[in-house]
Structure 1
Amino acid sequence: MLKIYTDQHFITPKNRRCVFPLLFDLCYTKNQQLLNEYELVTKIEDAVVVIVPLDISEYFQKKQEKWLFEYIDKALALHKKVWVYTAGDYGLTLKKEVYTFRLSGFNSKFDTNTFILPSFIEDPYAIIQNKFHPIAKEALPKIGFVGHASNSGSKWVKEVLVFLLHNYKRLVKVLFTDYQSFYPSSIKRYKYLSLLQKNNHIETDFVFRNQYRAGAKTTEDKQKTTQDFFENLATNPYTFCLRGAGNYSVRFYETLAMGRIPFVIATDFRLPLDGIVNWTEHCVLAADANICEALIDFHQKISDEDFEKMQVNNRNLWLQFLNRETYFITLSTLFKEKI
């Protein structure tokens, strides 16, 4: 078992939403599989790994930076491995010798101790009450998408205002995040999807939304938009995936969980378990300049057998490595090897 320590004064009902994800499973839900992998010790000296209990931005919000840095420095002085978690679309980088767990950011700015967390989602097949099966290869690549994509003038204005507001809050210390340059994700999606749609060598199944989840407010509307989204994933072997406000895509993980093939636009991201998972075997990565050619070329070269096998492997990848439980089991093994 991997021995870990955290300050349990922060493990309160109020902090459930912002606790380090592993601690949520160990301290709140009492996940037995993870309790078999990790031992939560009461003395910092007995631990191999020391975990900062909450999303680090919480300590800045609550003006507890002094406690945070003293806690980290004490663990480092004892030669412990320190894990910190930074939540949200942007994340926050600490200039400390720590292992940082985050959802997003830019690979070119990361050190080797930065770990990307998958988006921990529910199994889509439990939601749509269906079973996985691979889709046979057809002559043309068939790609699906349901989501927020627009090129309207009002959308441009909104994207600019949201960007300016976020940076104003960051500058006046209302929000604590890394800086990120302007990236109008819904407009970029529209641009790329339109290129794919116009290509006669690609079959597309796109549903454009002007708002996130089509602006659904009622439970019934939310259920319908969710069903539409996952049915589109289920019926198309490829799914278009592009980053959102943060430099990551929840849709990417949903595609893998469905056993489909993510078609991803490269935006200087890092994927989870980099170096353990060979991501070139699980997705199609395209540069900004040649997205149509990348999809057509990949589809032409892959055999019928490997096409279906890739879908099976993607489903298994999510089951074995990318849901909450299996991700942290893999992490436990990785850090035991570092001891």
Structure 2
Amino acid sequence: MLKLFTNKEFLTETYRRQVFPLLFDLVFLKNKTLLEYYTLVDIIELADIVVFPVDYAVFLKQNTAFLSLLKAAKQHQKVIWIYTAGDYGFTNYIDNSYTFRLGGFNSKLNRNTFILPSFINDPYSSFLPQGFSVLEKERKPSIGFVGHAQSGVIKYLKEYSNHLKYLVKRKTNLLLADRQLFYPSSVKRASYLQRLTLHDDLDATFILRQKYRAGSHSKLTQQESSQQFFDTIFNTAYTFCIRGVGNFSVRFYETLAVGRIPILLNTDCRLPLSTEIDWTKHCVIIDHNNKDTVADQILAFHNNLTDAEFENIQHSNRELWLNTLRRDVYFIEIGRQFKTKRQ
């Protein structure tokens, strides 16, 4: 069992939305499975790991509490776990620390950075009551996409305006660690999807929306748009996954959870547990630098699979999500790795 020490003053309803995900499960949800692997201690000398209790950007602003916990961790030579939330996240340069974040660029991340999966609910519990089953292999690979994708100069300029607003906000907060170049994600999606639609050897089912979640605000319309989203993933073998504002795709994990095959446009991504999981066995990883060959790369992957291998990938992806990428099992695996390092 790993013993964790943190500042419990931040484990309250006030900070509920910013709490380190593992601490959220231990304190707020009291996850029985995780409580068999982790425990919170009140004396830092007894701890294996010091955990910053909330999102790094939030904790950094609490100067006294931040410096106090950092000093204590260094004084007692404890490993530090840091959670940085949001589309971008922040790189820290604290010695003996490990960062947990959703995205970032693989070539710029150090080996002490762990990518968090997007923690989602099981689609079969909420949107797909028919339960998991595999699709048989067809000659033409079926590819689905439902989401925000729009081309045009006006859309490009609107996204650029939003990017500038974000940079101003970051500058105001003096948090400039992970500034990113402008990436017009919805425009990029539309461009790639248009090319795939025109390819005769692909069976494309694309529903392009001009706004995120079709601009839905009511619970009913959100439910309807989500239902259409998951129905499309379920009914197509492959789902096209490209980054959003941050350099990661929630759709990637939703596709795995349904037990289908993601097509990941690799924009210098780092995937979770990349040293333990051979991701080439679970998804089609596309080189984003050559837009003209995307369809060819998809077809090559599909055509190289036997019927049995095609169905096995679907089973394997569902099992991967159930056994490794859900929040509790993910942190069990992380805990196992840290125990191994200590031995």
Task: Give the TM-score normalised by the residue count of structure 1.
Answer: 0.97
CA distance in 2, matches of 1:27, 1:319: 23
Q: Which runs of 5+ in 1 are unaligned?
A: none
CA deviation string 1:4-42 (max 9, x = no partner): 111111111111100000000001110010000102111
Partner Cα distance (2:214, 2:121) in 1: 21
Task: Report if aligned partners of 2:52, 2:59 keep a CA contact under 8 Å in 1.
Answer: no
Q: Which blocks of at least 5 consecutive residues in structure 2 are unaligned?
A: none
Alignment of 1:182-261 (within 5 A): 182-261=182-261
Once the two structures are TM-superposed, the CA of residue 175 in structure 1 deviates from its matched residue by 5.8
Q: Does 1:298 align with 2:337?
A: no
Q: Does 1:166 align with 2:166?
A: yes
1:132-147 correspondence to structure 2 within 5 Å? 132-147=132-147
* Partner SS, residue 321 of structure 1: helix
**Match status 1:75 vs 2:76:** no
Deviations 1:76-95 (A, max 9, x none): 33221100000000001111
Aligned residue number for residue 269 of structure 2: 269
Q: Secondary structure at the match of 1:178?
A: coil
Offset at residue 297 of structure 1 (A): 0.5
Question: Are positions 1:90 and 2:88 aligned together?
Answer: yes
Q: In structure 2, what is the Cα distance between the partners aligned to 1:192 and 1:152?
A: 14
Distance 2:168 2:9 in 1: 33
Residues 7, 69 of structure 2: 8 Å contact kept: no
Shift of 1:104: 0.7
RMSD: 1.2
Q: 1:176 Cα shift? A: 6.0
Q: Percent of aligned positions with the same letter in both sequences?
A: 46
After TM superposition, where is structure 1 displaced by more than 4 Å over at least 4 residues in a row?
Answer: 174-177
Q: CA deviation at 1:70?
A: 4.0
Q: Aligned partners of 1:23, 1:91: CA distance in 2, in Å?
A: 18
* Aligned position for 1:111: 110
Q: Deviations over 1:196-229 (max 9, x none)?
A: 1111111100000000011111111111001000
What's 2:331 paired with? 328
* Counterpart amino acid of residue 42 in structure 1: D
- Rounded Cα–Cα distance in structure 1 between residues aligned with 2:86 and 2:333: 23
* Equivalent residues of 1:256, 1:318 under 8 A apart: yes
8 Å Cα contact 1:170/1:177 also seen in 2 = no
> 1:65 is aligned with what amino acid?
N
Separation (CA, whole Å) in 2 of partners of 1:230 and 1:21? 25
Counterpart of 1:125 in structure 2 is: 124
Secondary structure of the 1:76 match is: helix
- Within 5 Å, give how 1:1-80 maps onto structure 2: 1-60=1-60, 63-80=61-78
| CA-to-aligned-CA distance 1:17-68 (integer Å, 9 cap, x gap) | 00000000001110010000102111111011110001010134xx323532
Question: Matched residues in 2 for 1:30 and 1:256: separation?
Answer: 26
